[in-house]
Structure 1
Amino acid sequence: MVQKDKGAWAWVPVLYFTQGLPYVLVVTVSVIMYKKLGVSNSDIGLYTSWLYLPWVLKPLWSPFVDLKSTKRKWFLSMQLLIAVALLGVGLAIPTNMFFITTLACFWMAAFASATNDIASDGYYMIGLTEKKQSFFVGMRSTFYRLAMVTGEGLIVIMAGFLENKYGDNTKAWSITMVIAAVLMLILTISNFLVTPKYESSTAISTDKPEGFLDVFTSFFKKKDIGIALAFILSFRLGESQLVKMAAPFMLDSPEKGGLGYSTEQIGTIFGTAGVIMLSIGGILGGILISRDGLKKWMLPMVLSLNVPNILYAILAFTKTTSIIPVAATVIFEKFGYGFGFTAFLMYLIYISEGKSKTSHYAIATGFMALGMMLPGMISGYMQQWLGYDGFFIWVVIAALPALFLLKFITYPPEFGKKTNETNA
C-alpha cells in the first residue's frame, strides 16, 4: 500500500483544479455564453440552474462509487468523459438547435463532474490522514476556486478576444469550448501521472458501506441532522442567486439597469484581481482554521461570504460603471468567497465523519447543491420582477437565515485545528 499523505503537495492542487473547472464551465460560463448567444435572462436562470441537478442527486449513486472499482479509476474515467462532453458543446454551438444540443452536452458534463466530485473527495479522505485533511483544506479550496476563476476569467477573456477578432459570437464560443475540452484532457492526463494508487484492499474495505440503504439511514441518524441540513441548504442562499445574475448585470446595457461591460472586460476583472484575492482568501481561511479551530472563525467566515453582496446592490442603485468600484466589488466578493467557503468545507467534512464518509460527504454536498439549484432557478425571474437594484437587495436579505441558524448548529470548537503531531 502507498503511504498516506504521499505526494499530496502535487496531487491535491491538480485534482481539485480539475474538479473545479467543469463545475464553473457548466454552472457559470454557460450563463455568459448563453447571454452572448442571445438567450433571455429567465431562460438562462431556469435552464442553467437545472444543471445543478446532478450535484443534488449524486448521493443516489455515491454508494456505487464506494462499492465498485477504485476512486482513482472513477475520477480518471469521469474526467475523460467531461472532455468529450465539452467538445460536444463546442461542436454543437454553430448548429440550428444549439440551445437544446449544448444543454444536453452540459448535462453529460454535469453528471460526469458530479461523479468525479464523489470519487475525488473520497480519494482525498482515503489518501490523507485526518490531521492532514484540515491542513490541506485551504489549498484544496483555493485550487478549486482558482479553477472557477480560470473559467470565469481566462476562458471568458479568450471568448471575448475571439468575439472581437471574428465579429461572430457563435464562432468565438465554439472555438472557446473546444479549447476548454482540450484543457480538460490535459488535466486528466496530469491526474493520471500525479495521483498515487492509495487504495489497497484494506483501505477499500474499511471505507466501503455495508449496504446501499445503510449509507442513507446512518447519515440521517446523525445527531441534530435536521438543523445541520437546514444550515447547509441556506448557507449559500444569497450567493446562489448572485452567481447567476452577476454576469448578466455586468453585460446588460445601462438602459436595462446593467453596466454595459464587454465579455473581455468581465473576464479580465475576474481573471486578474479576482484570482489573487480568491487565492489569498482560501489560503488564509485554511491557515486560521488549522491554527484556531472552526468555532472561532465560523461567524466571520459566514459574514465574509455574504457582506460583499451589498456592494453589488450599491453598484446597481448608483449605476456606477467606473472600473475602480466595479473591480473593487469583485475583489471583495472573491476574497470573501474564498475565505468564507473554507468554513463551509470544514463543516461538511465534520458532518461526514464516521463509516461511509465518502458517501456521507456526497450526501452533504448534494444538499449544498440543492441549496444552489432551487434559488438559482428563480433568480432570472426575480431579477426581471425586481430589476437589478431590487434583486441585489433581495440577495443581501437572503443571507439572514444562515446567520440565524449559526447559533443552533453543533460541532467541536477545536474541529480542524492542527495538533503538535500534525506540525511534525
Structure 2
Amino acid sequence: MKKDNSPWYWIPTLNFASGLPYAIIISVSVIMYKNLGINNEDIGIYTSLLYLPWVIKPLWSPFIDLYSTKRKWFVSMQLLISLAFIIVGLTIPLSNFFVISLAIFWVAAFASASNDVASDGFYLVVLEKEQQSFFLGIRSTFYRLSMLTGNGLIVVIAGYLEQEYGDKQKAWSYTMIVVGLIMTVITIYNYFSTANIEAKSIETTTESVPNKSFGTVFATFFQKKQIGLVLAFILLFRLGESQLLKMLTPFLIDPVSAGGMGLTTQDVGVIYGTFGVLSLTIGGIIGGIVISRDGLGKWMLPMILAMHLPIIGFILLSHFHPGSVFYIYATVIAEQFGYGFGFAAFMMYLIYVADGESKTSHYSIATGFMALGMMLPGMLSGFIQEYLGYGNFFIWVFIATIPGLILSRFLIFPTDFGKKSAQEKTN
C-alpha cells in the first residue's frame, strides 16, 4: 500500500463497506426470512424496524465526533458487522433463529449506521472541499454498486446454494457466513489503506474539545441559517424517488395484465447489473467532475432536473407498454445516469449544510433527516400504487418531485461551493 494513502485507495472500499451491510440488513433479510418460512406480516413489521438506526443515528453521532478518531470508529464498526453476519449464519439452523437473528441484525444495523457516521466524518475531515466535490461521484457510485452486489450477487449465491444443497437453511447459513467473510476482508483492507492522520489533528486541537458537549454539538445544527427551509428541502427532495425505488422492480416484473412490463427477474438483473451500473458509474463520475470544475451553484438546477425528468419515461412505459425491450433499456439507462449525475448535487449541498465545527455530527444529522424523508414515503408507496395503478402512480411520483425543486430555488449557498481552486487545478 502506498504511504500517501491516496483517496483513490480507500474511498471506493470505504463506501462499499457502508452500502453492503445496509443492503443485507434492509433488503436481503426480507428474501432470506421469506425463503425460511417466516410469514409476511412478521417480515414487514420487524424488517422495517431494522431501518430505524439510520433514522436516529444523529442522536449518538456527536459521541463519535467527540471521542477517538473516525478511523478507529469505522474500523471497529466494520469488524463488528463482519462478526454479526457470521453469527447470523451460524444461528440460522437453530429452531428459534428468527428472534436471535433479528437481535443480531439490530446490532449490525446500529454498527452500520455508526460506520456511516464515522466514514462520512473521515471523508469530511481528511479531504479538502475541492476533493470532496470531485470524489462525490465516486462515493455515490461505489455505494450503489455495493447495494447492487447485496441485492444481486449475494441473492444469486443463495439461490445457487439452495439448488445445490436442496436445503434453504444450509444455503442461507453459508451465504451469510460468506457475507461476513467478505466484510472481514474489506475491513482489513480499509485498516491498511486509510491514513491515521487524525491522531495528529487531535493532539493539536484537544484544548477545544472540553468546550464542546453532546447537547451543544446537536443544538448548533439547528442554529444554522435557513434551517427550517434546509430541513424541508432535505425531507422533500427525495419524496418522489423514495416511492419510485420501492415500486420500480414490481412494475418491471408484474405482468402486463396487472399494469407491469412482464419482465423476468433475470431480465431485471441484466438490465440493472450491466447497462444500469455502467450508466450510474458514468453519471456519478461526471457529476463530481462538473461540480469541482464550476461549483454547486451552476449545476444545482440541471442536476435536480437530470435526476427527476427520467420518471417521464416510466410514465410512458406504464401507459403504452411497448413490446420492444429497447424502450425499457433506454428508460433505465436514463434513470440510472440521471440518478448518478443528479445525486452528486444533493450530497454536495449536505456537505455545505454540515460545514463548520462538528461537521461529522452535523452531516449525520442531515443524512438522518434524509433517511426519514426516504423511509416514510417509501412505507406508503405500496398503498398508493395499489390505489392509483402503475400509470397514475408514476404521474404522482413525478408530481412529488416538484416541492423539492421549488424549495431548492430559495436555498442560499456560495455558487462556487465545491469548485476546485486554480492552485488545485495545476497540481
Same fold (TM over 0.5): yes
* Counterpart residue type for residue 74 of structure 1: W
* Counterpart residue type for residue 295 of structure 1: G
Report deviation, 1:203. 3.6
5 Å-filtered alignment, 1:56-67, equals 56-67=55-66
- Tell me if the contact between 1:45 and 1:377 (Cα under 8 Å) persists in the aligned partners: no
Give the direction of change, closer, same or farther, for the CA distance of 1:297–1:103 in structure 2 (3 Å limit): farther
Q: CA deviation digits over 1:75-100, x for unaligned, max 9?
A: 11111222233334545566666665
Distance between the aligned counterparts of 1:157 and 1:309, measured in 2? 28
- Tell me if the contact between 2:62 and 2:218 (Cα under 8 Å) persists in the aligned partners: no
- Number of the residue aligned with 1:106: 105
The gaps in structure 1 that reach 5 residues or longer are none
Give the direction of change, closer, same or farther, for the CA distance of 1:167–1:404 in structure 2 (3 Å limit): farther
* Counterpart residue type for residue 409 of structure 2: K
- Number of the residue aligned with 2:389: 387
Distance between the aligned counterparts of 2:306 and 2:381, measured in 1? 22
Report deviation, 1:371. 0.5
- Tell me if the contact between 1:28 and 1:243 (Cα under 8 Å) persists in the aligned partners: no
The alignment's TM-score, normalised by the length of structure 2, stands at: 0.88
> Which moves more between the two structures, 298-307 or 410-419?
298-307
User: What secondary structure is seen at the aligned counterpart in 2 of 1:413?
Assistant: coil
Report deviation, 1:109. 2.4
Report deviation, 1:344. 0.8
- Number of the residue aligned with 1:301: 303
Which of 324, 327, 352 is 2:326 aligned to? Answer: 324
Distance between the aligned counterparts of 2:318 and 2:244, measured in 1? 13
Which of 359, 362, 365 is 1:360 aligned to? Answer: 362
* Counterpart residue type for residue 282 of structure 1: G
Give the direction of change, closer, same or farther, for the CA distance of 1:323–1:290 in structure 2 (3 Å limit): same
5 Å-filtered alignment, 1:31-180, equals 48-91=47-90, 102-162=101-161, 173-180=172-179
* Counterpart residue type for residue 242 of structure 1: L
- Number of the residue aligned with 1:288: 290
Report deviation, 1:42. 8.2
- Tell me if the contact between 2:229 and 2:411 (Cα under 8 Å) persists in the aligned partners: yes
Rg larger in structure: 2
- Tell me if the contact between 1:157 and 1:266 (Cα under 8 Å) persists in the aligned partners: no
- Number of the residue aligned with 1:313: 315
> Which moves more between the two structures, 123-132 or 280-289?
123-132
Report deviation, 1:367. 0.6
Which of 221, 235, 238 is 1:236 aligned to? Answer: 238
> Which moves more between the two structures, 157-166 or 277-286?
157-166
Give the direction of change, closer, same or farther, for the CA distance of 1:351–1:400 in structure 2 (3 Å limit): same
Report deviation, 1:342. 0.4
Give the direction of change, closer, same or farther, for the CA distance of 1:371–1:254 in structure 2 (3 Å limit): same
> Which moves more between the two structures, 256-265 or 294-303?
256-265
- Tell me if the contact between 1:42 and 1:380 (Cα under 8 Å) persists in the aligned partners: no
Q: CA deviation digits over 1:318-367, x for unaligned, max 9?
A: 44575433333322221111111100110000001111111111111111
Distance between the aligned counterparts of 1:392 and 1:173, measured in 2? 35
* Counterpart residue type for residue 367 of structure 1: F
- Tell me if the contact between 1:41 and 1:380 (Cα under 8 Å) persists in the aligned partners: no
Distance between the aligned counterparts of 1:87 and 1:176, measured in 2? 9
RMSD: 3.0
The gaps in structure 2 that reach 5 residues or longer are none
- Number of the residue aligned with 1:277: 279
Give the direction of change, closer, same or farther, for the CA distance of 1:33–1:413 in structure 2 (3 Å limit): farther
